[in-house]
């Protein structure tokens, strides 16, 4: 089966994809700043499976901020119309990996908190309250 026609050249597509951030995204930074202002200290770049966005080592809590597109948010279903099979397979693979990345730290007695990008944008106070409640336990 032929690939659907892309409206960008291969070089333009490559340049666009290189600009997609995988760390220090706006939702992550907003969340980190709010927690830091509340006095909660965390670590970044901790070598745990899945590379959590925030790690509270003393409390054994990891926080992941999942982008709605890349992690297959059920609320924000948004698969591109071109090359649909490729993107669906990629997102499905990411979702399978997310389950593994969640279960592995739990098996080592870590608490895992996952938030969708849209949750941080639309219901920020609830996200902060949920994290701070876990940190105070």
Question: Which domains does the chain possess?
Answer: 21-136 (3.40.960.10)
**pLDDT at position 132 over 70:** yes
Total-model pTM: 0.83
Residue 111, pLDDT score: 96
**pLDDT at position 54 over 90:** yes
For residues 71 and 95, the answer to whether their CB atoms sit within 8 Å is yes
Bigger pLDDT: 117 or 24?
117
**pLDDT at position 5 over 80:** no
User: Number of C-alpha atoms within 13 angstroms, CB side, residue 107?
Assistant: 8
**pLDDT at position 110 over 90:** yes
Bigger pLDDT: 77 or 33?
33
Tell me if residue 54 falls in helix, strand or coil.
Answer: strand
In angstroms, the CA 96 to CA 88 distance is: 12
End-to-end CA distance of the chain: 54
């Amino acid at each position: 089966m032929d690939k659907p026609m892309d409206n960008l050249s291969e070089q333009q597509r490559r340049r666009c994809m290189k600009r997609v951030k995988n760390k220090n995204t706006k939702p992550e930074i907003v969340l980190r700043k709010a927690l830091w202002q509340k006095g909660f200290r965390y670590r970044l770049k901790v070598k745990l499976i899945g590379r959590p966005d925030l790690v509270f080592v003393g409390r054994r809590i990891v926080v992941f901020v999942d982008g709605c597109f890349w992690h297959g948010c059920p609320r924000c279903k948004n698969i591109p119309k071109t090359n649909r099979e490729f993107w669906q397979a990629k997102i499905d693979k990411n979702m399978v990996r997310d389950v593994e990345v969640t279960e592995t730290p739990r098996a080592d007695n870590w608490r895992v908190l996952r938030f969708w990008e849209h949750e941080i944008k639309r219901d920020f106070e609830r996200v902060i309250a949920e994290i701070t409640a876990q940190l105070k336990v």
